[in-house]
């Protein structure tokens, strides 16, 4: 395994799915089992309770329950960057505090996303309040830049102000813009900043530019293909490994993310309950299901992953 510089999270992270019961509650046992499978099959760390984890569709109580279950289940939370975003300041504080108290490696924090075009001062105030109210030097905050969904970008001047005010507590950023140029600019502007790409499509580019790796929805499925890219990124094979990984990523991202990934895990585990989503997300149609299965099986590198997962 790759050596990790002390104190900084690096590598391949899956934005972990949240399995649900028929009553739409987080399903804790399959959640922990899935986390273990990911850690044993290519993930250096995990990022539950983000966009893929349907965190904003879960109540505060449900999210706290999941964090506590992960800790009680013996998962290595020091390797976890856990979502704590909420439009409500008080809830973002409660979640972030719970993550620190549980030994979480980092908290992934969205900007408040209801009001549009907030001022930089307003966003600085929000993140500042979270840091100051949590008031714990163990806190490592990862800013969550996902403008397509949050509608509120994390800009370079905002990052600079936060880093100037709170130093190493502002540990990094997940760049889910899908725009490699944005990631490259961040890495040039803030050397050593913990920048993860939001897609494993940019894993190799990210590492070469001094970034930390990727935190990705599709890594719920692609982890065994992503790890060789991370482990071998300085080798000659890296580009070919990345190409093979990207092929799977591009196929998966042509489907609705949460539904497609839950569909694949449902097939692999034989547990149909995995298909359940919180509204407004909906499961794949039967036609989408079979198209997805056919297309995945048509990729040799994915066929190998699926067959190994089924055997496990």
For its own copies, the binding residues (CB under 8 A) are 24, 51, 56-62, 86-91, 94, 111-116, 118-119, 121-123, 125-126, 129, 148-152, 278-282
Q: Which is nearer to its own copies, 113 or 274 (CB)?
A: 113
| Least gap, CB of 110 to its own copies (angstroms) | 9
Nearest 5°: CA angle at 280, between 275 and 286?
40
CB count within 10 Å of CB 209 equals 17
Instruction: Tell me how far, at minimum, the Cβ of 148 lies from its own copies, in Å.
Output: 7
Cβ density class 240-263: b for 16+ within 10 Å, e for less: ebbebbbbbbebbbebbbbbbbbb
Report CA-CA distances (Å) from 278 to 53, 56, 266, 293.
10, 10, 16, 23
Query: Per the structure block, which two tokens stand in for 302?
Result: 């994915």
What CA–CA distance (Å, rounded) separates 194 from 279? 33
The nearer residue to its own copies, 113 or 230, going by C-beta atoms, is: 113
By beta-carbon proximity to its own copies, the closer residue of 126 and 190 is: 126
Query: Among residues 110 and 309, whose Cβ is nearest to its own copies?
Result: 110
Cβ 1 to its own copies shortest distance, Å: 35
Q: Which two tokens stand for residue 230?
A: 């991370």
By beta-carbon proximity to its own copies, the closer residue of 121 and 136 is: 121
Which is closer to its own copies, CB of 8 or CB of 273? 273
CB of 281 to its own copies, least distance (A): 6
Residues 233 and 212 sit within 8 Å (Cβ to Cβ) = no
Q: Are the C-beta atoms of residues 200 and 218 closer than 8 Å to each other? A: yes
In the complex with its own copies, which residue's Cβ is closer, 118 or 232?
118
CA distance 21 to 28: 9
Minimum distance from residue 88 beta carbon to its own copies (Å) = 5
Report in angstroms how near the CB of residue 66 gets to its own copies at its nearest: 13
Q: How far apart are CA 256 and CA 263, in angstroms?
A: 11
- Please, what's the b/e burial string for 38-58 (b: 16 or more CB within 10 A of its CB; e: otherwise)? bbebbbbbbbbbbbbbbbbbb
CB of 159 to its own copies, least distance (A): 16
């Amino acid at each position: 395994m790759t050596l990790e510089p002390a104190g900084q999270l690096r590598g391949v992270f899956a934005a972990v799915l949240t399995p649900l019961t028929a009553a739409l509650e987080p399903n804790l046992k399959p959640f922990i089992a899935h986390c273990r499978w990911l850690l044993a099959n290519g993930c250096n760390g995990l990022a539950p309770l983000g966009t893929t984890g349907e965190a904003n569709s879960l109540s505060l109580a449900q999210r706290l329950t999941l964090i506590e279950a992960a800790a009680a289940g013996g998962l290595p939370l020091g390797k976890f960057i856990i979502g704590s975003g909420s439009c409500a300041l008080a809830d973002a504080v409660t979640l972030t505090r719970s993550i620190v108290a549980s030994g979480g490696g980092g908290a992934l924090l969205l900007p408040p996303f209801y009001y549009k075009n907030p001022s930089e001062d307003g966003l600085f105030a929000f993140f500042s309040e979270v840091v100051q109210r949590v008031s714990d030097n163990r806190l490592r905050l990862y800013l969550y830049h996902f403008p397509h969904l949050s509608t509120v970008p994390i800009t370079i001047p905002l990052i600079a102000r936060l880093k100037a005010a709170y130093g190493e507590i502002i540990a990094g950023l997940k760049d889910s813009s899908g725009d490699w140029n944005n990631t490259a600019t961040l890495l040039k502007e803030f050397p050593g900043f913990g920048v993860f790409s939001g897609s494993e499509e940019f894993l190799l580019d990210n590492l070469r530019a001094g970034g930390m790796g990727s935190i990705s929805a599709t890594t719920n499925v692609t982890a065994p293909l992503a790890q060789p890219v991370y482990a071998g990124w300085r080798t000659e094979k890296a580009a070919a490994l990345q190409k093979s990984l990207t092929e799977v990523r591009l196929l998966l991202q042509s489907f609705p993310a949460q539904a497609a990934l839950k569909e694949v895990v449902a097939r692999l585990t034989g547990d149909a309950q995995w298909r359940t989503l919180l509204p407004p997300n909906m499961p794949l149609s039967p036609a989408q299901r079979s198209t997805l299965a056919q297309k995945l099986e048509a990729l040799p590198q994915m066929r190998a992953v699926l067959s190994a997962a089924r055997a496990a």
